């Protein structure tokens, strides 16, 4: 941004923070806060800040109008201590981060649609498999490319990184051992990793017969799998497809054949079976969950990279939520902008396919273009 664009955008943010109901997290006095400001020079975070009261915090936002607002998932005795070792950590919320940038490349709209699929997978795992209640789970649109899930549950409050690692490994399907998975999850009709592993095997065996497969039965070669096991796969392929689809696999077949085949296929980490299995995991950002001292975006704040609201979502509104319409934050008044590179996409129910040059757009669209680096303030139109 040039100086004029930056000042205009900062003033829009200031008006938002002055006139909006800004939320504050539970036990805010125990949280560390961090802010990134609009600056023409190098971007840096100002952190190790604490607020005792919500009024003090909201006044800070109105006066300084930061581009990004973060608070700690952790609770501290001294959240404003300048050294982490002196903060006196007492616990932390359990958080998950779904970022489309780690999942799919494409247009902004395509990435937002794809990451919502991962959101539903993750929510299903948390409630149906891991036993968390909806009342304990807060769902937040990040204002950027994804979603944050906050779990506030006394049972996980004091968990360290290792316990949180075990949970995120389950969510992401990391380090799965077929013997353990197939032994302890026996009900085929429920969602669990036994289901996912068997369904993935069936999909893989069907793929071997399809036009996209480069495997040739005559070659007896499948992704580096030993020849003896390849022969077993090809011999049992049709039988396994039928039995898995009907949910009629016997424990004997699982023990003698399925475990052997799965162990062999899982040794090829970049093989097609592993890719199929990964699609059944929820692709949460693992370091965010294992970090017990993470800073995360504040719901109701603005995202300085888009101008969109960081929004808390109700469970019954997730399906219909449209980030590029529902999370807009500014007025409909027209603003003159100068596009410095072409923009194509949908924003606030309007479709755009515009080239470099001057245009008049809504304030929300203008801030979005400024924050995304597509335009500057002005234009001769």
Which residues carry out catalysis? 97, 99, 285
Structure tokens belonging to residue 292 = 């017990």
Contacts of residue 30, defined as CB under 8 A and 6 or more positions apart, other chains included, come to: 75, 76, 77, 79, 90
How far is 287 from 97, CA to CA, in rounded Å? Answer: 9
**H or E segment to which residue 122 belongs:** helix 108-124
Q: How many CB atoms lie within 10 A of CB 157?
A: 14
Contact yes or no for 311/143 (Cβ under 8 A):
yes
Contact yes or no for 374/343 (Cβ under 8 A):
yes
Contacts of residue 151, defined as CB under 8 A and 6 or more positions apart, other chains included, come to: 93, 94, 95, 96, 126, 132, 136, 137, 138
For the chain, where are the E strands, in sequence order? 33-36, 45-49, 68-72, 74-76, 89-92, 94-99, 137-141, 146-151, 295-297, 311-313, 334-339, 343-347, 350-354, 357-362, 375-377
Phi then psi dihedrals of residue 212, to 5 deg: -80, -15
Residues in the chain: 381
Phi then psi dihedrals of residue 291, to 5 deg: -80, 115
Phi then psi dihedrals of residue 331, to 5 deg: -80, 170
How far is 68 from 66, CA to CA, in rounded Å? Answer: 5
**H or E segment to which residue 325 belongs:** helix 323-326
Handedness of CA 177, 180, 182, 187 (dihedral sign): negative
Contacts of residue 49, defined as CB under 8 A and 6 or more positions apart, other chains included, come to: 32, 33, 34, 35, 80
Phi then psi dihedrals of residue 122, to 5 deg: -65, -45
């Amino acid at each position: 941004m040039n100086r004029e664009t930056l000042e205009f955008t900062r003033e829009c943010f200031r008006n938002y923070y002055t006139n909006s109901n800004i939320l504050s997290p539970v036990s805010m006095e125990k949280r560390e806060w961090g802010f990134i400001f609009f600056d023409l020079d190098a971007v840096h975070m100002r952190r190790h800040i604490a607020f005792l009261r919500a009024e003090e915090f909201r006044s800070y936002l109105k006066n300084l109008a930061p581009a990004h607002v973060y608070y700690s998932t952790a609770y501290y005795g001294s959240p404003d201590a300048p050294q982490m070792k002196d903060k006196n950590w007492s616990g932390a919320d359990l958080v998950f981060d779904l970022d489309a940038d780690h999942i799919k490349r494409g247009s902004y709209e395509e990435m937002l649609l794809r990451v919502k699929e991962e959101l539903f997978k993750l929510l299903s795992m948390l409630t149906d498999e891991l036993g968390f209640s909806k009342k304990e789970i807060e769902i937040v649109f990040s204002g950027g490319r994804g979603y944050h899930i906050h779990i506030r549950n006394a049972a996980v409050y004091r968990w360290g990184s290792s316990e949180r690692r075990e949970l995120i490994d389950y969510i992401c399907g990391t380090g799965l051992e077929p013997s353990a998975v197939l032994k302890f999850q026996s009900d085929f009709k429920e969602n669990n990793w036994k289901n996912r592993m068997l369904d993935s095997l069936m999909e893989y065996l069907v793929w071997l017969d399809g036009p996209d497969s480069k495997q040739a039965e005559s070659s007896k070669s499948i992704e580096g799998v030993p020849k003896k096991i390849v022969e077993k796969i090809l011999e049992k392929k049709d039988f396994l497809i039928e039995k898995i689809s009907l949910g009629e696999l016997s424990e004997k077949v699982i023990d003698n054949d399925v475990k052997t085949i799965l162990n062999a296929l899982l040794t090829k980490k970049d093989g097609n079976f592993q890719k199929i299995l990964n699609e059944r995991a929820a692709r949460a950002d693992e370091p965010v969950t294992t970090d017990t001292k993470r800073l995360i975006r504040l719901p109701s704040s603005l995202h300085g990279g888009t101008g969109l609201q960081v929004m808390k979502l109700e469970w019954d509104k997730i399906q219909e939520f449209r980030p590029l319409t529902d999370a807009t934050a500014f007025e409909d008044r027209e603003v003159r902008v100068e596009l410095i590179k072409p923009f194509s996409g949908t924003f606030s129910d309007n479709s755009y396919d515009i080239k470099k040059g001057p245009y008049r757009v809504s304030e929300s669209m203008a801030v979005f273009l400024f924050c995304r680096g597509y335009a500057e303030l002005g234009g001769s139109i």
